[in-house]
Amino acid sequence: MSRNLIGAGVAMALAVTAVGCGAGSGSGGDALEIWIRQVPNSPSHKTAQKFVAEFEKATGLKTKLVSLFDDFETKLQQQAQAKDLPDIVINDTARLGNMQHQGWLREVDRTRLAGQDKLADQAWKAAQAGDGKYYAAPFSAQSFALIIRRDWREKVGMEPPRSWDDLAKLARAFTEKDPDGDGVANTYGFVIPAGTKRGYASWYASSMIYANGGDFLKATGGGKFAPTADDPRTVEAVKWLQDQFCTAKTVNPGAVSNDTTVTHTVFEKGQGGIYLVGPYVLARFVKSVGDEKIEVVQVPKGPSGGPGTLGEGENVYLMAGSDLEAEQQKFAEFAISAAGQRVGMNGDAEGPIVRLPVNKEVDLGAERKDPRWKVFADAYPTAVYTPPVPDWTPFRQKAADAINAAWADCAKDVKVTMDELNTTFARELATQKAS
């Protein structure tokens, strides 16, 4: 594969770091080109730089790291059309179906991947497509939890929430009782990335749905699925959140248009005090908000189910068509090794690219001294990965569009909205021949 055909329009958007001067790898001495979905020059990008440098040191191979965030999938699509995909892509577990469906991935023989037996079985689920085959190596895992302004909670004299009722009361107190003490009504309970871009509304809602025993789809056997968006437990969770937007008014203004990048900043500015999010921002918030001001609390069990949150993370995808298959294999083996996992975790510092380690030989407590990480680790065994349909992307987007509409328009009937979404899901399953 040529490494010189990246179009000028794409190249302008890429932050590229050529790492090291190791021995040639593959035909023509080409470097192994690695794309990772991280903001250029961010702490996570810098961790990725350290990671690939350690890989070069361990193997003597050359690499070229490309770190980008905005429109990541669009730029990959452009590279696919130019027949110039990178060799390795480190990307969300939920993207597996979409990339495999387009023929971008080569199958991974799990039994031939050195160190695969050291990985958690649950992590391997995220590397498995609907056909039962593996198309990636697990790299990072995460569950979700509530990051709460502890100083605000203590100011309003309440205990950590242990039920959804407790959570609603805490959000109301943060909204109405001036927890920051500035004498102005400018705080809210929840900060929520409730926009539709990349399906954020359904991404956020999913943890509450799983915590209530609901789901979007259920497996019926043989790689087939049935829609469950109209399940009463799913409807109940979406309606509970609509009540926070529309009745209690405990959600930060503008949430229905925000993605996570904006929402992180909203939390840091003290506009809201409860953020249901993954562990990747913990070190950032410790630094920006204050170590003693934040706490991590497990998502409470819903009134009809739980416990459970969304389970996700990142996989190492070995892209099809590469001339460097042996080098791809070595990179995947380094990524899942205890040594590689530790580098990616980055201790307690900001910018981990491995959130929860997938290698069972890595001791989380030994690598990270902040005990708040343990809350996420404890939630992981009951976390729920997105179903391995041929392509999850349209389901996530259609769910986001429907759920966002129910939160943005308080006159919308959630039950009717979710019934309609169920019908939409049934059509999409038929389209993907997965019903």
Q: Does one domain contain both 291 and 362?
A: no
CATH of the domain at 94: 3.40.190.10
Q: Does one domain contain both 424 and 293?
A: yes
- pLDDT, position 417: 98
- pLDDT, position 98: 87
Number of residues in the chain: 435
Cα(272)–Cα(193) distance, rounded to whole angstroms?
A: 12
The answer for 157, left when phi > 0, alpha when psi is -120 to 50, beta otherwise, is left
Q: Is residue 385, in this structure, part of any structural domain at all?
A: no
Q: Identity (one letter) of the amino acid at 379?
A: A
Q: Is residue 2, in this structure, part of any structural domain at all?
A: no
Q: Identity (one letter) of the amino acid at 192?
A: I
- Asked if residue 381 has a cis previous peptide bond (ω within 30° of 0), the answer is no
Tokens of 212: 């209530």
Q: Does one domain contain both 326 and 426?
A: no
Q: Does one domain contain both 273 and 176?
A: yes
Cα(288)–Cα(387) distance, rounded to whole angstroms?
A: 35
Cα(420)–Cα(260) distance, rounded to whole angstroms?
A: 27
Q: Is residue 387, in this structure, part of any structural domain at all?
A: no
pLDDT tens, per residue, the chain with 435 residues: 433 333 334 333 344 444 443 333 333 358 999 999 999 999 999 999 999 999 999 999 999 999 999 889 899 999 999 999 999 999 999 899 889 989 999 999 999 999 999 999 989 999 998 788 999 999 999 999 999 999 999 999 999 999 999 999 999 999 999 999 999 999 999 999 999 998 999 999 999 999 999 999 999 988 899 999 999 999 999 999 999 999 999 999 999 999 999 999 999 999 999 999 999 899 999 999 999 999 999 999 999 988 899 999 999 999 999 999 999 999 999 999 999 999 999 998 889 999 999 999 999 989 999 999 999 999 999 999 999 898 899 999 999 999 999 999 999 999 999 999 999 999 999 999 999
Cα(206)–Cα(276) distance, rounded to whole angstroms?
A: 11
Q: Is residue 384, in this structure, part of any structural domain at all?
A: no
Q: Does one domain contain both 17 and 43?
A: yes
- Inter-residue contact 414 to 235 (CB < 8 Å): yes
Cα(337)–Cα(55) distance, rounded to whole angstroms?
A: 11
Residue 208: which of 414, 420, 434, 423 has the closest Cα? 414
Contacts of 331 (CB under 8 A, 6+ apart): 32, 34, 55, 61, 87, 88, 316
Task: Characterize the bridge pairing of strands 88-92 and 312-318.
Answer: antiparallel
- pLDDT, position 281: 93
Residue 139: which of 361, 355, 336, 317 has the closest Cα? 336
Q: Does one domain contain both 88 and 165?
A: no
Question: In angstroms, what CA-CA distances link 9 with 12, 34, 422, 435?
Answer: 6, 19, 39, 40
Q: Does one domain contain both 238 and 267?
A: yes
Domain of residue 32: give its range: 8-141+312-377
Cα(380)–Cα(390) distance, rounded to whole angstroms?
A: 24
- Inter-residue contact 45 to 35 (CB < 8 Å): no
For the chain, how many structural domains are there in total?
2
Tokens of 25: 């790898």
> Tell me, what DSSP letter sits at residue 357?
E
Q: Does one domain contain both 160 and 273?
A: yes
Q: How many other CB atoms are there within 10 angstroms of residue 80's CB atom? A: 17
- Inter-residue contact 397 to 199 (CB < 8 Å): yes
Q: Does one domain contain both 78 and 37?
A: yes
User: Which residues is 217 bridged to in the sheet?
Assistant: 227
Distance, first Cα to last Cα, the chain: 37
Cα(355)–Cα(351) distance, rounded to whole angstroms?
A: 9
The 8 Å CB, 24+ separation contacts for 220-228 are 223/130, 223/131, 223/132, 223/388, 223/434, 224/434, 224/435, 225/387, 225/389, 225/429, 225/434, 225/435, 226/429, 226/435, 227/422, 227/423, 227/425, 227/426, 227/429, 228/422
Tokens of 294: 């934040």
Q: Does one domain contain both 215 and 275?
A: yes
Q: Is residue 383, in this structure, part of any structural domain at all?
A: no
Which helix (H) or strand (E) segment is 397 a member of? helix 393-408
Q: Identity (one letter) of the amino acid at 433?
A: K
Tokens of 118: 């050291």
Q: Does one domain contain both 154 and 227?
A: yes
Q: Is residue 347, in this structure, part of any structural domain at all?
A: yes
Q: Does one domain contain both 361 and 415?
A: no
Q: Is residue 382, in this structure, part of any structural domain at all?
A: no
Cα(303)–Cα(355) distance, rounded to whole angstroms?
A: 29
Q: Is residue 35, in this structure, part of any structural domain at all?
A: yes
- pLDDT, position 114: 96
Which pTM value belongs to this model?
0.85
